[in-house]
Amino acid sequence: MGERKQNTQWHSIINSVIRIELDEDADVLRFEEEHKLGTGAKSIDLLIRKKEGCFVRKNIGHIFRGHNLFEVKGMTDYLSIDAFYRTCGYGLFYKANTPLKNKIDIEDITFSFVSRRKPRELIRHVKKVWGLKCVKYAEGIYYLKDSRIPIQLIITSQLSPKDNLWLQSLLNPVNSREVANELVKSYEYHKGDCNYEDVMQEIVRKNTLMFKEEKIVCQALDALIEEGIEERIEERIEERIEERIGPRIEAAVEARIETELEARIETELEARIETELKVRIEAAVETRLEERMAPRLKELETRKEELRSLEKKLREREKRLIMRERELGLA
């Protein structure tokens, strides 16, 4: 599976889990995935617009204002300083990219960063550079105080399954039978909802043994478990194939390269030899011609000299005859 396709699927699952967490407030929220920024390729992963004057009851939405931007990191990703600034930059561009002057108030925007681990380097940075304090608001939720734009950090490893069951379970291993049971109950209650199906499938895929060993199954979940097992088998098969086919491909490529090189070298050698032969033959012919023509040329030069000498004698004789004729005429 290509990296771009995996990222697209992961973003879709992340958007689904955020929708699940904010399900009770869905009537006052509007979700927009991959919001494009201008005409370029840049986009906001998830933009949530809130109706004016409405309060969001869910803890991760208490900070919400009119326009709320989300940046979510995976289980192994880390919220870096550059990722923080990149999302903030997207938010500022989003605020400015409107047809009307100051249509979006800067204080009507919020940023939410979701990460499995607490980004301590980032927290130290914003405190040192911007004077922002990281204050705990609730279990796993921190606010960066004194920021003109409200910012929250959602640390999934610290979230309570009681308050944020789905978000906590998606980005962390499910190690508790109670949590697994709660997921199954919630899943059955929302059966047919594609958001719950997508997220549950991902959770089961990552925690197949937990659900299988604890025999936490229902008819729908059992199918997901089987899909998870089948997917893992497929992944293992792909891994084994990659392990075995890699060296073979490498050997085949090397052999092909060697053959191509040999063929090209042979062709190039033949071409160069042919060229060199032509040059040498031309040189040899010229040399042989010079050697053979030299005596003849010398003989021709000798004959030329003889002819010139003969011509000279003839002219002298002609002069004498003319003089003689003149003398006879006088007589």
pLDDT tens digit sequence for 70-122: 998 876 788 999 999 999 999 999 999 888 888 899 999 999 999 989 999 99
Nearest to 60 by CA among 52, 198, 68: 68
- CA–chain centroid gap for 302, Å, is 85
Cα separation, 154 vs 61, in Å, equals: 11
Amino acid at site 158 = Q
pLDDT tens digit sequence for 224-251: 556 655 666 566 667 667 777 767 777 7
Question: Is the per-residue pLDDT at 221 higher than 70?
Answer: no
Burial class (CB in 10 A: 0-12, 13-18, 19+), 168: buried
pLDDT tens digit sequence for 265-323: 888 888 888 888 888 888 888 888 888 888 888 888 888 888 888 888 888 888 888 88
At residue 214, the pLDDT reads 57
pLDDT tens digit sequence for 135-168: 999 999 999 999 989 999 999 999 999 999 999 9
Which band of pLDDT confidence, cut at 50, 70 and 90, is reported for residue 18?
A: very high
Of all residues in the chain, the percent with pLDDT exceeding 70 is 87
Of all residues in the chain, the percent with pLDDT exceeding 90 is 36
Domains (range + CATH), the chain? 1-172 (3.40.1350)
Cα separation, 11 vs 72, in Å, equals: 8
At residue 1, the pLDDT reads 46
Burial class (CB in 10 A: 0-12, 13-18, 19+), 18: buried
Give the bridge partners for 22, in sequence order. none
Entry pTM: 0.64
At residue 52, the pLDDT reads 92
Question: Any idea how long the chain is?
Answer: 331
Question: Is the per-residue pLDDT at 222 higher than 70?
Answer: no
Per DSSP, the three-state class of 65 is coil
